[in-house]
Amino acid sequence: MSDEKRPIVLRWRSAVLNSSEPSSVKLTLLALAEHASPSGGKCYPGVDTLAAQTSQGEKTCRRALDAADGRWFTRTPMKFSGRHWRGYSYQLRIPDGAVTMTGPRREVAVTMTGPQGASCGHSVPELRSLSPRAAVTVTDELGKAPRKSNKERARARKTESVRLPTWLAPDAWQAWKQHRGSKFSAQAQKLAITKLETLRSEGHDPVKLINRAIESCWSSFYPHESTKANNGAAGHIDRDARSEDELAAANEAELARFWGDAA
């Protein structure tokens, strides 16, 4: 049977299998085809039914149907009798450029006519048979690039590197990343570094802020008197808050008191 004579639902299933859709989308679409008529209509399974048939979660099936809507089928809302919720009626459609063939492609011999005739004088054309030497590759033209799955996108976000500023100690930051756990994304790390930089400009030590947050089991940084830079450090001298004129007058008064006591 030629490909054009096959029912639409069978050609649609072949197009799904030959496509570059993620595995969750393919599995959901193949289960959807089990409920369709040969012409691709009269298809209205529930999401719970598709989830049970594919051993997936209902959220995964909904995301797969939303991703395929408009390309692989059109759906129309409808209300079923005896139900309190709304369902959909699906009409399968084959996208433009989809490969609907199944199995390997057969090699077809090509015959060409040559201009040279027979030596007896009769103009009998010479026939030459050419057969392809390399296997024919069937390409999928539905998308320009394969789509990444949700797990691949999540793995890319986790492995994204964040450049540390020179003022931030790497060992302290590594301890903070371990404290936050695997859900500490690259975007969250950038926001945390921005907050540390703001608190650092206000006079707080980033290492002390990190240590205090880890000790308190916090998920962010909160300034405190104990997190100020050089707070209680050995050899640290606080600057006198008096002005230069006030310091000069105090020195003169101290000298006058010293010479008065000496006399």
7 with 88, same domain?
A: yes
Residue in the block written with tokens 């950038």: 190
Whether 159 is in a domain gets the answer yes
Q: What gap in Å lies between CA 233 and CA 117, rounded to an integer? A: 106
Whether 237 is in a domain gets the answer no
Whether 206 is in a domain gets the answer yes
Whether 169 is in a domain gets the answer yes
CATH code of the domain covering residue 9: 1.10.10
Whether 120 is in a domain gets the answer no
Whether 180 is in a domain gets the answer yes
Whether 142 is in a domain gets the answer no
Last residue of a domain, one of 92, 111, 133: 92
**For the chain, how many structural domains are there in total?**
2
- Residues forming a β-bridge with 226: none
Residue in the block written with tokens 């310091």: 247
Q: What is the dihedral of CA 228, 231, 236, 240, to 10 degrees?
A: 70
- Beta-carbon contacts of 211 under 8 Å, excluding residues fewer than 6 positions away, are 172
Q: What gap in Å lies between CA 94 and CA 100, rounded to an integer? A: 9
Q: Spell 205-231 as b/e; 16+ CB within 10 A means b.
A: bbbbbbbbbeeeeeeebeeeeebbeee
Burial of 32 from C-beta contacts in 10 A (0-12 / 13-18 / 19+) = buried
Q: What is the pLDDT along the chain (263 residues), one digit of tens a residue?
A: 566 778 888 888 898 999 889 999 999 999 989 998 888 887 888 889 999 999 999 999 999 999 988 889 888 887 766 666 667 888 898 888 888 877 655 444 444 454 544 444 544 454 455 555 555 444 444 445 567 677 777 666 655 678 888 888 999 989 998 999 888 888 889 999 999 999 999 999 999 999 999 999 999 999 998 999 876 554 444 556 677 788 788 888 887 887 776 65
- Beta-carbon contacts of 175 under 8 Å, excluding residues fewer than 6 positions away, are 210, 214
> Dmax over Cα atoms in the chain, in whole Å?
150
Whether 192 is in a domain gets the answer yes
Burial of 65 from C-beta contacts in 10 A (0-12 / 13-18 / 19+) = buried
Domain extent, residue 175, equals 150-227
**What integer pLDDT is reported at residue 75 of this predicted model?**
87
Tokens found for residue 85: 């919720």
Last residue of a domain, one of 65, 92, 119: 92
7 with 76, same domain?
A: yes
Q: How many other CB atoms are there within 10 angstroms of residue 75's CB atom? A: 17
Tokens found for residue 133: 């030497």
User: Residue 210 in contact with residue 221, Cβ under 8 Å?
Assistant: yes
User: Residue 99 in contact with residue 138, Cβ under 8 Å?
Assistant: yes
Q: How many other CB atoms are there within 10 angstroms of residue 19's CB atom? A: 22
